[in-house]
Amino acid sequence: MTSLHPPPLPDDTATIAPSASDPAVRAAGLVKRYGDLTAVDDVSFAVPRGTCLGLLGPNGAGKTTIIEILEGLKQPDAGEVVVLGRTWDHDPRAIQERIGVQLQEAEFQDKLSVYETLRLFASFYARPADLDGVIELVGLTEKRRAWVKTLSGGQKQRLSIGCALLNEPEILFLDEPTTGLDPQARRRVWEIIERLKTEGRTVLLTTHYMEEAERLADDLIIIDHGKVIARGSPATIIASLEAESVVQFAVAGRTHARLEHAELTALEGVRAVRSEGANIVLSVVHTQAVIAGLFELVRARGLELEDLRTHRPTLEDVFVSLTGKHLRDE
Amino acid sequence: MSRIDEIRELTRVRVLSFLREPEAIFWVFLFPLLLAAVLAFAFRSGDIEPSRVIVVDGPDAARLVEAFAVDEHLKIDVLPSRDAAMTKLRTAAADGVVEGGDPPRLSFDPQRPEAETARLRVLRALGLALEGGADPPLDEHLMTEAGSRYVDFLFPGLIGMNLMGTGMWGVGFAIADVRRRKFLKRMLVTPMRRSSFFLAFMNSRLVFLAIELTVLLGFGVWILGVPLRGNLIALVTIALLGAAMFAGLGILVASRVRTIEGVSGLMNFVMMPMWLASGVFFSYEKFPAFIQPALKLLPLTALNDALRAVMLDGASILTQGPELGVMAAWWALCLGIALRIFRWE
């Protein structure tokens, strides 16, 4: 499969047509309500062409509703969507010809083969891509004639992405492309998405896996309860924690009540303290100094540390510090 | 690709998905044949059916048995106990029970047509024994030639019922299934024309209609000897319209439901009255006269009437205007409503 466009040039020359510098997708003030529940609450963003935007948030945050509004499947109660310079009210087919969509939980027909399924979807487009090229890109060449019901979860997901590529789309919408897959299958999907990014396609992806968001997204929007709670590149968002690392430990014995949050906050280099079950989690700037201080404090109080760990801050830490809960409720 | 490619591929997928369900093959092609074969066997014509009458043993028994001997179609059993005799009557193993006395007593179930025959035969035999007379002369003509048997009446109805069943199940199940899988929703984000989706269902029905008609007609005409007195093209035209009508009804019934169970219930609810009242197994003229005009407006009644007229009476399709009109109206009505209320997600 050949790439549709050369990767977009930096937008500093007057020779670029105005339309080429427009964002691929623009959403302004999106609101969607279901009864009393506001599933999407005033969400705005723009996705520049050739970039990947990740919508990160826990289940039920409103990610799927947002992406389905962008795909033209749902009508927002307020707000505006512009996809490739067009709106869904005018000529939806023109947009559909140029976007590729992978839906969360959509299943294909069990008793059709990989090739038959792709062939059906290819027939809907004016200029479909070469089927065998798509099959190869998503790594299903050996499964070409296999019925859908014999495919593994990862293979089904790759078929689903394959179906989204049949029109050489300029924008790809991927709704939780790796949910429910094992780590190896997940990495294969990531490799495919990375390859599509290098071909210059715009990608919009929802996920509740922070590794996925960190690896694939150029820009991120973190969503909770339908609201945007953070945005920027993964690095910027992590940097907003202003922490060098995260220190996590438990106090041996029955309780950690004897270590007050105030005492820990008082340690030099500690930015934030929170409890997670039996664990205490510190966001810190001077890891070494904090750990030294922590040991001293613990010894002075006659306590013993257990399960001491440190790691570099992740998107998960940002999410927890913003909302007090984890992305995945395990 | 063009509109034609899209419709062709959608049709292909419908046909393939259907053919890959072994149960579907059974219900569509084998079941009606089995049903026809069983019914043809049960209602095989030829001899006059005898009446099975039981005489309860007693002082008059011998006299009664002797009187009944005049009618070769009275098959007499003598049982010692009244209870045993009545049990046989209740379980339809006998058509009547006669006990001695003055006058003799006949027990029978007036709901069963065989019982009425038995009653008349018993009455006649007793009358002849009493008067010692003979029957008035009568030239009996047995209607056993093709075209006038029960199976001849039945067969066009079976074709109609089969077109209804395959059309409704084939289309309704498939729609409920692709909706449940969100396959419909997945197609909705492509530039697929919605009309192509429905056209594909119509087309796939036509493909199967060709197979169904060949199998059923072949079996009926060559094996059972059901006559095909009218024009084959007329018959095929009527079947085409009938298949399209039931595909439309199938789309309508499946236009909102989300589950297979839901669509099954709704299908049975819609089809049940027609199995009974559209003249498949017995003529709808058994129903009260005031309700018959309404029965004639049922989709399956119109189809069955037209099929019977062409097959059995050799009617021209031109005489079937009202039936064809009813079918076309149902087709347009169902599709019209379905397209408005259809749920894609």
State the average pLDDT over residues A229-236: 91
Residue of A nearest to B22 (CA): A111
pLDDT at residue number B44: 63
Give me chain A's average pLDDT, please.
87
Tell me the per-residue pLDDT of B263-303, one tens digit each, with 9 for 90 and over: 889 998 999 999 888 988 888 888 888 998 999 999 999 99
Pick A241-323's CATH classification: 3.30.750.24, 3.40.50.300, 3.30.365.10, 3.30.70.100. 3.30.70.100
Do the Cβ atoms of B191 and A125 come within 8 Å? yes
Query: Which tokens belong to B8?
Result: 């062709």
Does residue A146 sit at the B interface (CB-CB below 8 Å)? no
Domain boundaries, chain B: 17-43+145-341, 51-131
Q: Hunting for tokens 């990495």 — which residue is that?
A: A187
Question: How much of chain B exceeds pLDDT 70, in percent?
Answer: 94
- pLDDT number for residue B62: 86
What Å distances lie between residue B101 and B57, B95, B120, CA to CA? 12, 20, 19
Q: What single string gives the DSSP state of each residue in B135-174?
A: PPP-------STTSSHHHHHHHHHHHHHHHHHHHHHHHHH
pLDDT 10s digits, B166-180: 888 888 888 998 998
- CB contact B15 to A (< 8 Å): no
Inter-chain touch B191–A126, beta carbons under 8 Å: yes
Give how far B263 is from chain A: nearest CA, Å.
18
Q: Which of B6, B13, B188 sits opposite A73 (nearest CB)?
A: B188
The pLDDT value recorded for residue B145 is 59
Does the N-terminal peptide bond of residue A128 adopt cis geometry, omega within 30 degrees of 0? no
Chain A contact set for B175 (CB, 8 A): none
Tell me A97's DSSP state.
T
**Res A87 pLDDT > 70:** yes
Structure tokens at B15: 């046909």
The predicted pLDDT at position B33 comes to 78
Question: Per residue in B256-285, is it b (16+ CB within 10 Å) or e — as a string?
Answer: ebeeeeebeebbeebbeebeebbbbeeebe
Average pLDDT over residues A169-198: 92
Distance CA A222, CA A56 (A): 5
* Predicted pLDDT of residue B210: 86
Looking at residue B65, what is its pLDDT?
A: 87
Q: In this predicted complex, what is the ipTM?
A: 0.82
- Tell me which of B186, B199, B203, B260 to substitute to probe the interface with A (most A C-beta atoms closer than 10 Å): B186
Q: In what order do the strands lie in the sheet with A25-34?
A: A37-47, A25-34, A78-83
The burial of B164, by beta-carbon neighbours within 10 Å (0-12 exposed, 13-18 middle, 19 or more buried), is given as buried
As separate numbers, helices (DSSP H) first and strands (DSSP E) second, chain A gives: 12, 13
pLDDT at position A122 over 80: yes
Is A126's CB within 8 Å of B181's CB? no
Sign of CA dihedral A137, A142, A147, A152: negative
Residue B61 DSSP code: H
Q: How many CB pairs under 8 A join A and B?
A: 75
Contact between A119 and B9 using a beta-carbon 8 Å cutoff: yes
**Which of A34, A124, A148 to mutate against chain B (most B CBs within 10 Å)?**
A124
What residue spans define the domains of chain A?
Answer: 18-238, 241-323
Give the residue-averaged pLDDT of A243-261: 78
A145 in B contact zone (CB under 8 Å): no
Q: Which residues of B touch A165 (CB under 8 A)?
A: none
The one-letter amino acid code at B54 reads: I
- Per residue in A32-41, pLDDT tens? 999 999 999 9
Output the pLDDT for position A16: 39
The beta-carbon contacts of B128-132 under 8 Å, at least 24 apart in sequence, are B128/B67, B128/B70, B129/B66, B129/B67, B129/B70
Q: How long a stretch of residues is chain B? A: 345
**B1 inside 8 A of chain A by CB:** yes
* CB-based contact A101 B6, cutoff 8 Å: no
Strand order in the sheet with A171-175: A99-102, A171-175, A202-207, A52-56, A219-224, A227-232
In this prediction, residue A155 carries a pLDDT of 93
Side chain identity at residue B340, one-letter code: R
3 state DSSP class of A102: strand
Task: Tell me the nearest-neighbour CA distance from A23 into chain B, angstroms.
Answer: 21
For A123, other C-beta atoms within 10 Å of its C-beta total 24
* Cβ contact A71–B190 (<8 Å): no
Q: How far is B269 from chain A (nearest CA, A)?
A: 27
Q: How far apart are CA B55 and CA B53, in angstroms?
A: 7
Residues of chain B numbered 248-267 and touching chain A (CB < 8 Å) = none
CB B216 within 8 A of CB B29: no
Q: What angle do CA A45, A47, A49 make, to 5 degrees?
A: 160
Q: Which residues of chain B have pLDDT under 50?
A: none
Q: Do B189 and A124 touch (CB under 8 A)?
A: no
Q: Residues B41, B42, B48, B53: is their CA dihedral positive or negative? A: positive
Residues of A in contact with B192 (CB under 8 A): 124
Give the closest of A106, A111, A128 to B1, CB-based.
A128
CATH assignment of A18-238?
A: 3.40.50.300
The pLDDT of residue A261: 82
By DSSP bridging, strand A245-251 and strand A171-175 are unpaired
CB A229 within 8 A of CB A221: no
Question: Can you tell me the distance from the alpha carbon of A69 to that of A81, in angstroms, rounded to the nearest whole number?
Answer: 8
Which residues numbered 173-192 in B keep a CB inside 8 Å of some CB on A? Answer: 178, 181-183, 185-192
pLDDT value, residue A53: 95
* Nearest in space to B201 (alpha carbons), one of B156, B155, B253, B147: B253
Contact call for A103 and B189, based on CB within 8 A: yes
- The sign of the torsion formed by the CA atoms of B103, B104, B105, B111 equals negative
Q: How far is B242 from chain A (nearest CA, A)?
A: 28
Residue B149 structure tokens: 């048997």
Q: How far apart, in whole angstroms, are the C-alpha atoms of residue A93 and residue A86?
A: 11
Share of chain A above pLDDT 70, in %: 91
pLDDT for residue A15 is more than 70: no
A105 touches chain B (CB under 8 A): yes
Closest among B223, B196, B189 to B32, alpha carbons compared? B223
Strand, coil or helix: B253: helix
pLDDT score for A329: 57
Q: Is the Cβ pair B10, A120 closer than 8 Å?
A: yes
For tokens 């094992």, name the residue: A182
- Which residues on A lie below 8 Å from B5 (Cβ)? 123
A253 vs B218, more confident: B218
Q: Which of B189, B204, B343, B345 to mutate to test the interface with A (most CBs of A within 10 A)?
A: B189
- Is the Cα dihedral B163, B166, B172, B175 positive or negative? negative
Best A64, A84, A123 residue to mutate vs chain B (most B CBs within 10 Å): A123
pLDDT digits (tens, 9 = 90+) for A127-169: 999 999 999 999 999 999 999 999 999 999 999 999 999 999 9
Which pLDDT belongs to residue A76? 94
> Which CATH number fits the domain B51-131, given the four candidates 3.30.70, 3.40.190, 3.30.160, 1.10.3470?
3.40.190
Query: Is residue A165 within 8 angstroms of chain B, CB to CB?
Result: no
Q: Do A72 and B189 touch (CB under 8 A)?
A: yes
pLDDT for the residue numbered B2: 79
